[in-house]
Amino acid sequence: MNGPAATYDEAARSAGLPLGSCLVERRLDNGLWIAAAQVPSARVQRLVGAVGVGYLDEPDDCRGLAHLLEHALFLGSANFPEAGELARWIGERGGRYNARTDETVTDVHLHLPPDEADEGLARLVDMLARPCFEPAHIAHEVEVLDAEFRARLADPALHRLAALGRLCREGHPARLCHAGNRKSLGDDAAHLTTRLSDFHTRHYRSGGMALAMLGPLPLEAQLELLERHAEPLPTGEPSPLQRPWRWGEPGGVAWHAPQAMPATSALELIWPLPQALAAAHGEWLEAVAARLSDGRLAATLQAAVELDSFDVTLTPQGVGTALALRLAPAPDEETVQTLLAACRMALERALASPLTERPVAPVELDVWPRRCACRLAAAGNPSAGPAAPREALQPWLAVEQCRLLWQSPSAPGSWKRLAETGTAWHPQPLASETLPLPWRAAPALSARTLRPSVDEPGPYLVNQGVGFQLWAGDPLRLPDAAPASFCLGWSASLSRQAARLSQWRQNALPLRQAAAVHGLELRCDGDARGDWLIATGPAERLDALVELAVACWPETVTRPRDEAPKGLLAQRMLTRLVTLPPPGTPGQQSRQPLAWVHGDTDTQAAEALLRRLAARRREDDTSYEVPAELHWLSAQADDHAAMLEIAGPDDTPRSRWLLQLLAQCHDAAFHHEMRQRRGLGYVAAVRYREAAGYPRLGYVVQSPGTSVDALRQAIGQFLTCQGEALARLDQATMTSRKRALLAAAGPPETHAEAVARLWHALRRHPLADAWQPLPWEAESQALASLHADELTAMASAIAEGRLAQRWWLHRPGDTDT
């Protein structure tokens, strides 16, 4: 391996990877970009293959072709010709896989145990290089895409993209919907197969592709794997792509879905940028974005509007390269113009004084390799010649260059309708003059003087028996540890928890942004055991952050909001497994506030805060209404759907591991049974989820035409006829599955994950007088002790209905009952 090791360390630090990581990016002789990231603390090896072609590169007369090709990659390849083979192989190893088609890039990503990386990469490259295109399989997949398209008509994200197209030039592909359906793709399977093959031959070539890996394997081993497996890829440059500027003249569009929610609204302000120019000055643009999100603009806007969310990004979905702001809610035109005026002024301020010293937040390990591979695949050959000066960006960021996209509540007015999606829209003028808002200061986080640092002891109980419990000390220090952390939880009513958490996050929005400027991170959340927060970062301002976060917590909910539906109906159903207590399990809250601190946190200040909380929470009502065993969802889409929720017998590591193993055993077979053999619908999956440590499984099917009763019967028949048989594993298979599961859910990969897992383990034992063992060590021991017959017994208990369960059902036109 050429190059000094220090260079690889510095590259990893610049990319935001954990301390101790190494990173290499290089281009091979065949034009393929590769990236290898060694992260010693990572549990799994993440593999990504990306191709620099997306849905905007499709033929005009075959919209959805790139999306269909992404699906077709999973229908078999030269060395692994069986459809569904990849899903089965990954499932047996406890891994995960997914794929995505974006505007100008398509990617496939796998998560596997490190010792499976060699074969996993072989399978990934084979599906990218030599997919099988069988007309019968392609015809079936067109029907799947058509069902997906119809299901997505209930997802606001589809209508957002459709409305966004109204801001693009006439004749540009971005004006059209590219999800793909039976009408846009046609019903001639043989002809469509030929077009798929031609599209693949022209664009899936090494010169326009990238492979990326991230995991614990040594850097040299990763590079060897990447270089060796790159050889089968078709060599050469892809066909040249014509990508003209998409945007029309600056302006605005208001839109809503065909069945708009009156309480749902959002505003996006977009400044499109030339890709090469933005890439050349990426750090400066990030500094501008950081200034916009330093808390001052959020505080100013929130004083005038009940702002729930405010995000600044340089990678807005479906927009290409741009600086974009998203704010919600934006309920009327007056609010829209007020927000627009304030954001325009804030952008002028940010351009004049970007925030250049904002700490770089660590990346999410699951996200990083995909973004890296997509960036490299989209880059192609490095551009020749000197980059344009930064001043060339200024005209693109002028206030008058803004494009406005307003998700409006359904309101009176002249609305046009897009024929394909039914999206309602109309032009939205941008007012040139609006009275500016009075500027507010960002929340101030006072700093205290730190005492001289000393070696911190292991966790010990500072105080108990006085209405609260306080722990101090850190049992684990990973290289990327924050200087200090403060975890705090208390009992709270579950009956209106979702609305209360939404209001808490709204109240704390400027605070979270101001904290980020000082390298602090704040998370406010809640679950079946109550409400809680985790704050991490430099100790001198941490206590002040927690004090202000608690002050933002609402005693009562004054503005309950209905969450806008997001994603497919089946995905919304699965979120119930995370947000609600499982069936048959009453809330087990402790009325005593609980806290855990480490680092140079002021324990006296923590005690004082806990004492005040204990006095306030003494009379709290923690009761809640348990959802019925059969629950109908209000009409949210035109599809039928059913999900069987099954709760584990308890919240012990044994139950959690057994349900995760069952999900592995059942998922691929359930998908094949429901989608391939029975042809029931677009979505068919088995998913494991937890809420406050309580494990449960969800067996979900979403279908455009099959009745709810038939879906329930199909799920029940699968469990009674196949559930137990699929869980009968021989000793070798059981050992392999356990090893893979430990790789996927073993010791924490980052200190942030370690803090969260330690905190929630502590909350499960709120009155303990001794610190519990590291939870992942106890979980590892529990997994090692499991026997195959225990797995079979759990499957039998599910098939016989001996575990608590609940049905979630949906059909068009129904309401909550």
Model confidence pLDDT, tens digit, residues 456-484: 677 888 887 778 899 998 888 777 778 89
Beta-sheet strand order (sheet of 33-38): 22-27, 33-38, 209-215, 45-51, 106-112, 96-101
d(CA 196, CA 622) in angstroms, rounded, equals 57
Which tens digit of pLDDT belongs to each residue from 257-309? 987 777 789 999 999 999 989 989 999 999 999 999 999 999 999 988 889 89
Indicate if the pLDDT at residue 449 is higher than 90. no
With cut-offs at 50, 70 and 90, classify the pLDDT of residue 6: low
3-state secondary structure of 210: strand
In Å, how far from its chain's centre is CA 543?
29
What average pLDDT does the chain have? 89
Would you say 689 and 574 are in contact if contact means Cβ atoms under 8 Å apart? yes
- Domains of the chain and any CATH numbers: 252-362+396-427 (3.30.830.10), 460-560+568-617 (3.30.830.10), 630-810 (3.30.830.10)
- How large a percentage of the chain has pLDDT more than 90? 62
pLDDT in tens, 212-234: 999 999 999 999 999 999 999 99
Alpha helices (runs of H) in 381-425, residue ranges in sequence order: none
* Strand order across the 521-527 sheet: 460-463, 469-472, 594-598, 484-490, 530-537, 521-527
Q: Where are the beta strands (DSSP E) in 546-653?
A: 594-598, 630-632, 640-647
Tens digit of pLDDT for each residue in 607-651? Answer: 989 988 888 765 555 555 566 789 898 887 788 999 999 999 998
Q: Any idea how long the chain is? A: 817
Tokens of 174: 């971005």
What are the tens digits of pLDDT across the range 548-583?
A: 999 999 988 876 555 556 778 898 899 888 877 777
Convert the pLDDT of each residue in 710-745 to its tens digit. Answer: 999 999 999 999 999 999 999 989 998 888 888 777
DSSP structure class, residue 672: I
Instruction: With cut-offs at 50, 70 and 90, classify the pLDDT of residue 252.
Output: very high
pLDDT at 584 over 70: no
Q: Cis omega (within 30 of 0) on the bond before 131?
A: no
Q: Is the peptide bond before 329 cis (omega within 30 degrees of 0)?
A: yes
pTM higher than the cut 0.85: yes
Q: How confident is the model at residue 414 (pLDDT cuts 50, 70, 90)?
A: confident
What is the rounded distance in angstroms from the CA atom of residue 253 to the CA atom of residue 425? Answer: 7
Chain centroid to Cα 205, Å, comes to 29
- Beta-sheet pairing, 594-598 with 469-472: parallel
Block residue for tokens 């197969």: 193
Distance CA 464, CA 546 (A): 21
SS3 229: helix
Rg (CA), the chain: 27
Q: Furthest-apart CA pair in the chain: how many Å?
A: 76
